[in-house]
Amino acid sequence: MRASKTPAGVTPQEISTQASEISALRSRLGVLVFTLDTHLPFFEIAEHLAEQFGEVNVKAEVSTSGPQRVQTALEGKFSAADVLVVVGEPGPDSEDQLMELVEWLLANGRKALAENLIFAVLGEVRADHPVPAFNRVVLPRSYFARTQHSGLRLPWAASARESWELVGAVMNYAVGLGAE
Protein backbone atom coordinates (compact mmCIF):
# COMPACT_ATOMS: atom_id res chain seq x y z
CA MET A 1 0.00 0.00 0.00
CA ARG A 2 1.37 3.41 -0.94
CA ALA A 3 1.10 6.38 1.41
CA SER A 4 -1.30 9.00 0.29
CA LYS A 5 -1.86 12.55 1.35
CA THR A 6 -5.30 14.05 1.32
CA PRO A 7 -5.32 16.78 -1.33
CA ALA A 8 -5.20 20.33 -0.04
CA GLY A 9 -8.12 22.59 -0.69
CA VAL A 10 -10.96 20.24 0.24
CA THR A 11 -14.04 22.43 0.63
CA PRO A 12 -17.21 22.14 2.73
CA GLN A 13 -19.19 21.80 -0.51
CA GLU A 14 -17.20 18.71 -1.52
CA ILE A 15 -17.65 17.32 1.98
CA SER A 16 -21.41 17.90 1.82
CA THR A 17 -21.68 15.52 -1.13
CA GLN A 18 -20.01 12.77 0.88
CA ALA A 19 -22.11 13.67 3.92
CA SER A 20 -25.30 12.58 2.18
CA GLU A 21 -23.65 9.27 1.23
CA ILE A 22 -22.58 8.68 4.83
CA SER A 23 -26.06 9.47 6.14
CA ALA A 24 -27.49 6.91 3.72
CA LEU A 25 -24.96 4.24 4.78
CA ARG A 26 -25.06 4.58 8.57
CA SER A 27 -27.00 6.27 11.33
CA ARG A 28 -23.82 7.57 12.98
CA LEU A 29 -20.11 7.70 12.31
CA GLY A 30 -17.73 6.74 15.12
CA VAL A 31 -14.39 8.55 15.02
CA LEU A 32 -11.64 8.00 17.58
CA VAL A 33 -8.91 10.64 17.81
CA PHE A 34 -6.01 8.75 19.38
CA THR A 35 -2.87 10.62 20.42
CA LEU A 36 0.61 9.17 20.44
CA ASP A 37 1.66 11.74 23.07
CA THR A 38 -0.44 13.59 25.65
CA HIS A 39 1.18 16.97 24.93
CA LEU A 40 -0.43 17.05 21.47
CA PRO A 41 -3.76 18.93 21.12
CA PHE A 42 -5.91 15.88 20.39
CA PHE A 43 -8.90 17.17 22.38
CA GLU A 44 -8.98 20.33 20.28
CA ILE A 45 -8.64 18.35 17.06
CA ALA A 46 -11.54 16.10 18.09
CA GLU A 47 -13.68 19.11 19.00
CA HIS A 48 -12.92 20.76 15.68
CA LEU A 49 -13.79 17.57 13.78
CA ALA A 50 -17.10 17.33 15.65
CA GLU A 51 -17.91 20.95 14.74
CA GLN A 52 -17.14 20.31 11.08
CA PHE A 53 -19.30 17.17 11.03
CA GLY A 54 -22.09 19.27 12.51
CA GLU A 55 -21.66 21.89 9.78
CA VAL A 56 -22.26 19.27 7.08
CA ASN A 57 -25.03 17.48 9.05
CA VAL A 58 -23.21 14.20 9.66
CA LYS A 59 -24.15 12.45 12.89
CA ALA A 60 -20.72 11.66 14.25
CA GLU A 61 -19.55 10.58 17.64
CA VAL A 62 -16.00 11.87 18.02
CA SER A 63 -14.10 10.57 21.04
CA THR A 64 -10.53 10.92 22.26
CA SER A 65 -8.02 8.60 23.83
CA GLY A 66 -4.38 7.71 24.07
CA PRO A 67 -1.59 7.09 24.34
CA GLN A 68 -2.52 4.02 26.44
CA ARG A 69 -3.84 1.36 24.03
CA VAL A 70 -4.99 -1.14 26.65
CA GLN A 71 -6.94 1.48 28.61
CA THR A 72 -8.57 2.62 25.38
CA ALA A 73 -9.60 -0.96 24.60
CA LEU A 74 -10.95 -1.49 28.12
CA GLU A 75 -13.06 1.66 27.77
CA GLY A 76 -14.55 0.23 24.56
CA LYS A 77 -13.40 3.14 22.43
CA PHE A 78 -11.78 1.00 19.74
CA SER A 79 -15.00 -1.02 19.41
CA ALA A 80 -17.12 2.11 18.93
CA ALA A 81 -14.86 3.61 16.24
CA ASP A 82 -15.37 3.29 12.50
CA VAL A 83 -12.36 5.47 11.67
CA LEU A 84 -9.21 5.97 13.72
CA VAL A 85 -7.35 9.30 13.55
CA VAL A 86 -3.89 8.97 15.08
CA VAL A 87 -2.32 12.29 16.07
CA GLY A 88 1.47 12.41 16.03
CA GLU A 89 4.47 14.50 15.14
CA PRO A 90 6.72 14.14 12.11
CA GLY A 91 9.77 12.01 12.59
CA PRO A 92 10.89 8.46 13.22
CA ASP A 93 9.83 8.30 16.90
CA SER A 94 6.22 9.08 16.13
CA GLU A 95 6.25 6.77 13.11
CA ASP A 96 7.62 3.94 15.28
CA GLN A 97 4.82 4.54 17.78
CA LEU A 98 2.30 4.50 14.93
CA MET A 99 3.62 1.17 13.66
CA GLU A 100 3.52 -0.29 17.19
CA LEU A 101 -0.12 0.81 17.46
CA VAL A 102 -0.95 -0.81 14.11
CA GLU A 103 0.77 -4.05 15.11
CA TRP A 104 -1.14 -4.01 18.40
CA LEU A 105 -4.46 -3.40 16.61
CA LEU A 106 -3.78 -6.30 14.24
CA ALA A 107 -2.70 -8.62 17.07
CA ASN A 108 -5.87 -7.80 19.00
CA GLY A 109 -8.39 -8.40 16.24
CA ARG A 110 -8.83 -4.79 15.12
CA LYS A 111 -7.83 -5.23 11.48
CA ALA A 112 -10.69 -3.09 10.15
CA LEU A 113 -9.68 -0.22 12.41
CA ALA A 114 -6.02 -0.54 11.39
CA GLU A 115 -7.15 -0.36 7.76
CA ASN A 116 -9.25 2.76 8.45
CA LEU A 117 -6.42 4.69 10.03
CA ILE A 118 -5.51 8.28 9.26
CA PHE A 119 -2.21 9.67 10.51
CA ALA A 120 -2.67 13.35 11.42
CA VAL A 121 0.83 14.81 11.53
CA LEU A 122 1.28 18.01 13.54
CA GLY A 123 4.11 19.94 11.98
CA GLU A 124 5.93 20.24 8.72
CA VAL A 125 6.85 17.03 6.95
CA ARG A 126 10.09 16.97 4.98
CA ALA A 127 9.54 16.15 1.33
CA ASP A 128 12.59 13.85 1.22
CA HIS A 129 11.44 11.82 4.23
CA PRO A 130 9.58 8.56 3.49
CA VAL A 131 6.19 8.39 5.17
CA PRO A 132 4.30 5.44 6.61
CA ALA A 133 1.94 3.63 4.25
CA PHE A 134 -1.18 5.28 5.65
CA ASN A 135 -3.39 8.12 4.60
CA ARG A 136 -1.93 11.17 6.27
CA VAL A 137 -3.05 14.70 6.77
CA VAL A 138 -0.52 17.36 7.72
CA LEU A 139 -1.71 19.93 10.24
CA PRO A 140 0.94 22.67 10.13
CA ARG A 141 2.28 24.05 13.40
CA SER A 142 1.36 27.48 12.02
CA TYR A 143 -2.15 26.62 13.22
CA PHE A 144 -0.85 27.16 16.73
CA ALA A 145 0.96 30.40 15.95
CA ARG A 146 -2.07 32.03 14.32
CA THR A 147 -4.39 31.38 17.22
CA GLN A 148 -3.15 33.83 19.75
CA HIS A 149 -4.56 36.78 17.84
CA SER A 150 -7.69 35.07 16.60
CA GLY A 151 -9.74 35.19 19.76
CA LEU A 152 -11.08 31.75 18.90
CA ARG A 153 -11.16 29.11 21.60
CA LEU A 154 -9.27 26.38 19.79
CA PRO A 155 -5.53 27.02 19.70
CA TRP A 156 -5.26 26.50 15.94
CA ALA A 157 -8.78 27.29 14.81
CA ALA A 158 -8.01 30.58 13.08
CA SER A 159 -6.40 28.89 10.10
CA ALA A 160 -7.95 25.46 10.60
CA ARG A 161 -11.40 26.94 10.07
CA GLU A 162 -10.62 26.86 6.35
CA SER A 163 -8.99 23.44 6.52
CA TRP A 164 -11.26 20.52 5.72
CA GLU A 165 -8.53 18.01 4.83
CA LEU A 166 -8.81 15.95 8.01
CA VAL A 167 -12.60 15.72 7.99
CA GLY A 168 -12.40 14.98 4.25
CA ALA A 169 -10.03 12.06 4.87
CA VAL A 170 -12.32 10.69 7.60
CA MET A 171 -15.33 10.94 5.32
CA ASN A 172 -13.43 9.24 2.47
CA TYR A 173 -12.83 6.23 4.69
CA ALA A 174 -16.39 6.31 5.95
CA VAL A 175 -17.76 5.87 2.43
CA GLY A 176 -15.04 3.41 1.42
CA LEU A 177 -13.05 5.73 -0.83
CA GLY A 178 -9.90 5.94 1.27
CA ALA A 179 -9.03 2.26 1.64
CA GLU A 180 -7.51 0.39 -1.26
pTM across the whole model = 0.80
Multiple choice CATH, 4-174, 1.10.287, 1.10.10, 3.20.170, 3.40.50: 3.40.50
- DSSP H helices, 56-118, are 69-74, 77-80, 92-107, 111-115
Residues in Cβ contact with 124 at an 8 Å cutoff, skipping those fewer than 6 apart = 90, 138, 140, 141
Confidence (pLDDT) at 21: 78
Do the beta carbons of residue 62 and residue 46 sit within 8 Å?
A: yes
The separation between CA 54 and the C-alpha centre of its own chain, rounded to angstroms, equals 16
- Residuewise pLDDT in 10s, the chain (180 residues): 334 444 456 667 777 777 877 777 778 899 999 999 998 888 988 998 998 899 888 899 999 998 999 999 999 999 999 999 999 988 888 889 999 999 999 999 999 899 879 999 887 766 666 655 567 787 766 544 444 444 454 444 444 445 788 888 888 888 775 444
